[in-house]
């Protein structure tokens, strides 16, 4: 008789518990995790047996040797498999039985990120210096995001996929603040719910000391000071006969245009989940129903592609990084782009370069964009040749810029390209449209 092995379904909610020497509180905390939910204890270098105790109590234990609250939280997020993920301290100051208060608005669709607003149960539950620092940061946070937040609380919930797309880069005390700022910049709806705040078990490694509080405030101020990037997309309106002409044949001009529209829609959708201060579509043609909310539109200037690319950077506001991408790579990853542009990851970078597999490039970013720099880098570079990318890299090197490379992607130019990209991103609008075209034209045969 054959044995069938099945993979157990993911839990409805994963609860990430960053842990550093919390053996005294773990039994109470883990016993109060809601039924059916999974506790993920991320051991961040404990020496009191916390990891072994958590395992014995049924928690999934993840070892994160890199010290830092953000490092532990992010390791737990990566280990999670549930659609909804919660975070909370495991020192006994927060009651897991109240996690439903922050999870319910996420699961019922009324909010995308929910924070627990701490309400102390006793006067000594929240040290005065920590409460004052939190009040100042919350005020600045409201000014930055407009979200009605009064506490940067450690109990919070969101969809795992949305959090991963934020590309959070801080691995110390700035992680909770970066999550909120990035979520706001990505258009996520942020809410707050009251939760009880009890005296913790043992001494806090952060807010329990003035030094720890000072370090946390410094980390958070650094995150607050980093401007959100500008995202630029340069594209042609998907009009038959003007776009994706190398797809005809096997496609008709109308089918090629529909594929171009799907590629552009996927690109705008993905970039819509990347934290940004401004999103700008630099368009040759007129916008249509495919344009999602949140995007500004500006016309392309006359001239060759090199001139139009350089002119696009002139639209980016000064003082913030700008990343320019095309409409031909609908398989691009929000998490990869957001991670590269996060405040922590962008330190030391002057430019970002995304190579295309045909020798061109699909993305170019500048940490300090200016019209003059963009013209020096791009004007005169021959476009759509196997040497285009190499020549641009030479220009970047001559300008003395430190360049961070993005993953190599395939531009959709031919039917072979279209089939490859559709396979890489099967859930997107482009893949669905390609499958429709294949079914009608037999275009798959043209890719061999």
The first and second tokens of residue 56, run together, are 């014995």
Gap between the Cα atoms of 315 and 306, Å rounded: 15
Task: Give me the pLDDT at residue 448, please.
Answer: 44
Whether the per-residue pLDDT at 213 is higher than 80: the answer is no
Instruction: Please indicate whether residue 443 or residue 249 has the higher confidence score (pLDDT).
Output: 249
Lowest mean pLDDT among 184-188, 219-223, 258-262, 430-434: 219-223
Whether the per-residue pLDDT at 184 is higher than 70: the answer is yes
Q: What is the longest distance spanned by two Cα atoms in the chain?
A: 74
Q: 97 and 34 in contact (C-beta within 8 Å)?
A: yes
Residue 262's pLDDT band (cuts 50, 70, 90): very high
Lowest mean pLDDT among 2-11, 40-49, 268-277, 400-409: 2-11
Torsion angle defined by CA atoms of residues 108, 111, 115 and 116, in that order, rounded to the nearest 10 degrees: -40
Whether the per-residue pLDDT at 6 is higher than 70: the answer is no
The arrangement of strands across the sheet holding 190-197 comes to 60-63, 38-43, 13-19, 84-87, 156-159, 113-120, 190-197
How far separated are the first and last CA of the chain, in Å rounded? 42
The first and second tokens of residue 61, run together, are 């234990």
Task: Give me the pLDDT at residue 447, please.
Answer: 47
The first and second tokens of residue 439, run together, are 């079914």
What percentage of the chain exceeds 90 in pLDDT?
Answer: 80
Half-sphere exposure of 87 (CA within 13 A, CB side): 28
Lowest mean pLDDT among 48-62, 204-218, 434-448: 204-218
Q: List the beta strands (DSSP E) in 267-320.
A: 278-284, 296-299
Task: Give me the pLDDT at residue 391, please.
Answer: 97
Q: 160 and 77 in contact (C-beta within 8 Å)?
A: yes
Gap between the Cα atoms of 340 and 344, Å rounded: 9
Q: 437 and 445 in contact (C-beta within 8 Å)?
A: no
> Residues 7-34: what's their mean pLDDT?
93
> Residues 258-283: what's their mean pLDDT?
97
Whether the per-residue pLDDT at 404 is higher than 80: the answer is yes
Sign of the dihedral defined by the CA atoms of residues 88, 94, 95, 99, in that order: negative
> Residues 221-242: what's their mean pLDDT?
91
Whether the per-residue pLDDT at 142 is higher than 80: the answer is yes
Burial class (CB in 10 A: 0-12, 13-18, 19+), 225: exposed
Whether the per-residue pLDDT at 214 is higher than 80: the answer is no
If you search the block for the tokens 């719910």, which residue do you land on? 193
Task: Give me the pLDDT at residue 216, please.
Answer: 67
Whether the per-residue pLDDT at 146 is higher than 80: the answer is yes
Gap between the Cα atoms of 67 and 44, Å rounded: 6
pLDDT in tens, 152-164: 989 999 999 999 9
Looking at every residue in the chain, the average pLDDT score rounds to 92
The DSSP symbol for 151 reads -
Q: Which residues pair with 40 in a beta bridge?
A: 16, 60
Q: 227 and 277 in contact (C-beta within 8 Å)?
A: yes
Contacts with 16 (C-beta within 8 Å, 6 or more apart), sequence order:
40, 42, 73, 76, 77, 80, 85, 86, 87, 88
Task: Give me the pLDDT at residue 5, please.
Answer: 58
- Whole-model pTM: value is 0.88
> Residues 262-291: what's their mean pLDDT?
96
Q: 50 and 63 in contact (C-beta within 8 Å)?
A: no
Angle at 366 between CA 364 and CA 369, to 5 degrees: 125
Task: Give me the pLDDT at residue 1, please.
Answer: 46
What percentage of the chain exceeds 70 in pLDDT?
Answer: 93
Lowest mean pLDDT among 48-52, 96-100, 170-174: 170-174
pLDDT in tens, 32-82: 999 999 999 999 999 999 999 999 999 999 999 999 999 999 999 999 999
Whether the per-residue pLDDT at 16 is higher than 80: the answer is yes
Concatenating the DSSP letter of every residue in 189-207 gives -EEEEEEEE-PPSS--SST
Gap between the Cα atoms of 50 and 26, Å rounded: 8
> Residues 404-411: what's their mean pLDDT?
96
The first and second tokens of residue 261, run together, are 């529209």
> Residues 119-133: what's their mean pLDDT?
82
The DSSP symbol for 317 reads P
Task: Give me the pLDDT at residue 445, please.
Answer: 47
> Residues 266-287: what's their mean pLDDT?
96
Domains of the chain: 13-225 (3.90.550.10), 230-447 (3.90.550.10)
Task: Give me the pLDDT at residue 9, please.
Answer: 78
Torsion angle defined by CA atoms of residues 142, 146, 149 and 155, in that order, rounded to the nearest 10 degrees: -110
Q: 283 and 299 in contact (C-beta within 8 Å)?
A: yes
> Residues 81-106: what's their mean pLDDT?
97
């Amino acid at each position: 008789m054959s044995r069938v092995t099945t993979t157990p379904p993911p839990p409805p909610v994963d609860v990430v518990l960053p842990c550093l020497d919390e053996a005294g509180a773990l039994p109470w905390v883990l016993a109060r995790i809601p039924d059916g939910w999974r506790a993920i204890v991320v051991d961040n270098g404990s020496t009191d047996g916390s990891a072994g105790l958590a395992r014995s109590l049924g928690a999934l234990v993840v070892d994160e040797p890199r010290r830092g609250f953000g490092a532990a939280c992010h390791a737990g997020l990566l280990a999670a498999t549930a659609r909804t993920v919660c975070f909370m301290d495991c020192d006994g100051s927060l009651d897991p039985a109240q996690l439903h208060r922050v999870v319910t608005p996420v699961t019922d669709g009324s909010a995308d990120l929910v924070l627990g607003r701490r309400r102390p149960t006793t006067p000594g539950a929240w040290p005065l210096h920590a409460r004052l620092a939190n009040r100042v940061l919350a005020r600045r946070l409201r000014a930055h995001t407009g979200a009605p937040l009064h506490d940067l609380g450690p109990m919070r919930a969101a969809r795992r996929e949305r959090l991963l797309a934020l590309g959070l880069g801080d691995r110390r005390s700035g992680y909770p603040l970066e999550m909120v700022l990035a979520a706001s910049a990505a258009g996520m709806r942020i809410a707050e719910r009251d939760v009880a705040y009890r005296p913790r078990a043992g001494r806090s490694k952060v807010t329990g000391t003035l030094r720890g509080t000072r370090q946390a405030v410094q980390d958070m101020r650094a995150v607050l000071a980093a401007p959100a990037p500008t995202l630029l997309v340069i594209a042609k309106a998907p009009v038959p006969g003007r776009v994706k002409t190398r797809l005809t044949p096997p496609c008709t001009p109308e089918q090629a245009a529909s594929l171009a529209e799907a590629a552009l829609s996927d690109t705008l959708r993905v970039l819509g989940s990347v934290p940004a201060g401004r999103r700008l579509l630099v368009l040759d043609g007129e916008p249509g129903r495919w344009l999602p909310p949140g995007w500004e539109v500006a016309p392309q200037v006359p001239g060759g592609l090199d001139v139009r690319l350089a002119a696009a950077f002139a639209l980016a506001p000064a003082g913030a990084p700008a990343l320019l991408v095309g409409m031909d790579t609908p398989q691009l990853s929000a998490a990869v782009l957001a991670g590269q542009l996060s405040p922590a990851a962008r330190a030391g970078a002057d430019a970002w370069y995304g190579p295309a597999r045909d020798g061109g490039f699909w993305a170019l970013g500048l940490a300090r964009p200016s019209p003059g720099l963009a013209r020096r880098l791009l004007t005169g570079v021959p476009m759509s040749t196997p040497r285009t990318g190499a020549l641009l890299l030479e220009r970047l090197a001559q300008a003395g810029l430190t360049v961070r490379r993005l993953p190599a992607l395939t531009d959709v130019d031919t039917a072979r390209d279209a089939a490859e990209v559709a396979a890489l991103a099967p859930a997107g609008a482009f893949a669905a449209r390609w499958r429709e075209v294949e079914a009608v034209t037999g275009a798959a045969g043209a890719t061999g």
